[in-house]
Chain A
């Protein structure tokens, strides 16, 4: 017969609350869980341990609760200059950090040239190549102010930006470079007249703007231009000419890389370099010299003794020069008959590791939005994705 009291006890009983059960992992497992170990042939323990019950057998809970995540998550900004942003993201799993990176590259909208109407092109760059080059020009316009142009839509002031380009190299002149600063924004839309049957009807152009983009408060005193004025589009020889109109629309990097808002967005895990023995005197100097990234420094210990220290582990590129035989401890083994005597083995005196939940994140914007805004937008997109799934399920 089970009493009510026993039932309550059984319900509240949790083996992990028991004082004899360890709440922390033994050090070797903790190392495997939190670090990638970089050996001289390959890195090991590269995957993150995700399953909540992975360490059940030693009585440790591996689950991440929202509260503990919130407590431990940290962001340190390293540098920011309006186009590039470097920050440390600490206490997050690669699965989520990677989702941010993927969204930054492929799912954030920007404006890019999608249609090019060539009126005249006598340059050596063929029309289609020219159009492809124009598409890749980053445009400094906030995509949040525009709408997507869907298939049945007319291009209008809310979904299209029109640029004009007219460059000519006169006869007898030296060769002319056509740069992006020659792209002129047409706030009133296209100026090219569409050929139409009836001559009585009003001439139609390739866009149907109902008002000038000038009248938008965002663009009033702030004309839309390419992000950089000095990107080369084409070179013209004497007598050659380019006259065209380019229409930029909103899109995402998944459709075409020209809509990617970042030159690149990437992360790396924080390197951790540890000296397993004291490097002194000549050894220390050799070690400092071996590292091209200047990770090690020499510390004076007084009375002429010198010691190597790890001064800048962040710089480590994992070239593994410091894991070479020169810095290892030889293993003395009896040489068997027929074995190659030149083949010696050694153990490393330097440990190279990567911290699995510490990401050095770098975002290089192409100019449509500052990188910090890009990141917040990326996080918002992941939030929206979750919301959509929840909405479908409930």
Chain B
């Protein structure tokens, strides 16, 4: 929900129900990185209220659009994080399997060479 004024859409605050520091702090970071933002911050009005207020002041663009862009950007960042993470884990698991196989073969080789020695 947005709280702003009709005459000036540069400044607004947004009330996000059911959210807390998890989303607010991440969005604040992304908002801060946007050159269109003059100032931004968030607060939780009371610990027993399940909501957070995010305030945005921009250099001229509508605060609503800037805020939406920030959410969009955060979402795309997350998507990227997820793909990189999944790839890293898959690579690690594949490597691990390779290593296991090599270790097994090395062990087998060792056993075989021992056998040969015994036969001699």
A: residues with CB less than 8 A from B are 50-53, 61-64, 66, 69-70, 73-77, 80, 85, 87, 92-93, 95-96, 98-99, 102-103, 107, 372, 375-376, 379-380, 382-383, 385-387, 389-390, 392-394
A50 to B31, CA, bound (A): 9
- Min CB–CB distance A46 → chain B (angstroms): 15
Instruction: Judge if B109 is at the interface, Cβ distance under 8 Å.
Output: no
23 A-B interface contacts by CB (under 8 A): A52-B37, A62-B33, A63-B35, A64-B33, A70-B80, A80-B93, A98-B22, A98-B26, A99-B26, A103-B22, A107-B22, A379-B78, A379-B85, A382-B23, A383-B78, A386-B23, A386-B75, A387-B71, A387-B75, A389-B68, A393-B68, A393-B71, A394-B68
Cross-chain contact A76 with B34 (CB below 8 angstroms): no
CA distance A95 to B35 in the complex (A): 18
Name the residue in B25, B37, B64, B89 with the highest tally of chain A Cβ atoms < 10 Å from its Cβ: B89
B53 CB, min distance to chain A CBs, angstroms? 13
- Minimum C-beta distance from B51 to chain A (A): 13
Task: Please give, as numbers and ranges, the residues of chain A lying within 8 Å of B28 by CB-CB distance.
Answer: 50, 95
Q: Is the interface of B mostly helix, strand, loop or mixed?
A: helix
Q: A52-B32, A389-B16, A390-B71 are in contact. Are A380 and B82 (CB under 8 A)?
A: yes
Q: Does B107 contact A (CB under 8 A)?
A: no
**Do residues A386 and B92 form an inter-chain contact, with CB atoms below 8 A?**
no
Task: Give the distance to chain B from A79, nearest Cβ to Cβ, in Å.
Answer: 9
CB neighbours (8 Å) of A376 from chain B are 82, 85-86
Q: Does B72 contact A (CB under 8 A)?
A: yes
Distance in angstroms between the alpha carbons of A375 and B83 in the assembled complex = 12
Q: Known: A372-B89, A386-B72. Is A99-B23 also a contact (CB below 8 A)?
A: yes
Residue among B25, B81, B85 with max Cβ neighbours from chain A (10 Å): B81
Q: Would you give the shortest CB distance from A103 to chain B, in whole angstroms?
A: 6
How far is it, in angstroms, between the C-alpha of A76 and the C-alpha of B77 when the chains are bound? 18
